[in-house]
Structures are given as structure tokens and as C-alpha cells.
Structure 1
Amino acid sequence: MIADLSHMAVAGTLIAVRVTPKASRNALVTQDGKLRVYVTTVPEGGKANAEVQKLVAKALGVSKSRLELVRGTTSRDKVFRVT
């Protein structure tokens, strides 16, 4: 399940997400006005970050190269910028 975030696909927009790695399925949902991303990959070697970037880009309708991880490389709370 992936939420539609196409209205946020404007250059310079900051998108904050909370990540849950090793989930049972990949999903991107809005919960209490916040974005939650569930990924099945393990958080080692940047694998989970890459999967999160891929899911957020798909929800925005942009290529993953247009998303830049600004903050939270090793944290569950991450901030992406649309370029």
C-alpha cells in the first residue's frame, strides 16, 4: 500500500518520514498527519535507506534520483528533499 503524495512533488519540498525496517511488507501510509514507511529490508549498508527512497519517490511520482536524503542516515526519522 502506497499513499499518493504527488501534490508534494515540488522542488525544494522537505518530506519527513518515520521508517520501520524489517516489516512484513513494504508500505507508505499517513498516520496522524505523519508519513510512515515500512520496508522489508534490513537496516545495514544503506539497504533500507535505498528502499525508503524508492518507495517515497514512487509515491511522489518522481525518479529516485530527484530525492536527496538530507537528515537521518542512521536514524528511523529521516528527511528527504525533492530536487
Structure 2
Amino acid sequence: MARIAIKLTPGAASDRIDGWDVDPEGRPVLKVRVRARPVEGGANAALILLLAKSLGVARSAVSLARGGQSRLKMIEVEGLDDAERRDRLTGM
């Protein structure tokens, strides 16, 4: 199982992955923007769908492990290890 730290920006003009950054503690985070607003889990659902498409996995393989109400989230992806995740997200 691969884990991905995410910094989510809801209410953006388009759904997109902006690339890698570091959090205040120096850990890598993937910056993601979604059009959906953070109402009734809409932004989290849009995030999961975007990541599933980008990683080439089923939506059911992507889950929110931590940060449901926060901009900083931890996503788990079943069926991928960290090396595969890194390969699929290279250049993002």
C-alpha cells in the first residue's frame, strides 16, 4: 500500500495536480487543486477521483486515511507500493 501526503486546495478553477512541495516539517506533499467545495465531503470525493485517474487505479483503491476536515491529508492507495506511486507521479 502506498501513502501520499496531500495539500488540497478546494474551489479551484480546475481539477489538477500542481506537483510536489514540502510541508513545514520538511516532508514531501503533493499539491492538488479541485473545483469542488469542501461541503459534505465534495472536495475529498473529487480528490479521490482525480488521484485514482492519475494513478491508473480503481476509485475504490484510493482512500482517505487522515485529514477529512483539513487541507493536509493522507491518502492510501491499495495495490501500489511506494516505488510504483513514485513512478506514476513523476513529473507532477
TM-score in terms of structure 2 length: 0.73
The Cα offsets for residues 19-60 of structure 1, whole Å up to 9 and x where unpaired, read as: 000011111121335311101111010000000000011111
> Over aligned residues, Cα RMSD in angstroms?
1.1
SS for the counterpart of 1:49 is helix
Q: Decide which structure has the larger Cα Rg and report it.
A: 2
Q: Give runs of aligned pairs for residues 36-55 of structure 1, distance below 5 A.
A: 36-55=31-50
**CA apart distance, 1:68:** 1.4
Aligned residues: 72
User: What runs of 5+ residues in structure 2 fail to find an aligned partner?
Assistant: 22-27, 79-92
Q: Does 1:56 align with 2:51?
A: yes
* Off by >2 Å, runs of 4+ in structure 1: 31-34
- After TM superposition, the score normalised by the length of structure 1 is 0.80
Identical counterparts, % of pairs? 39
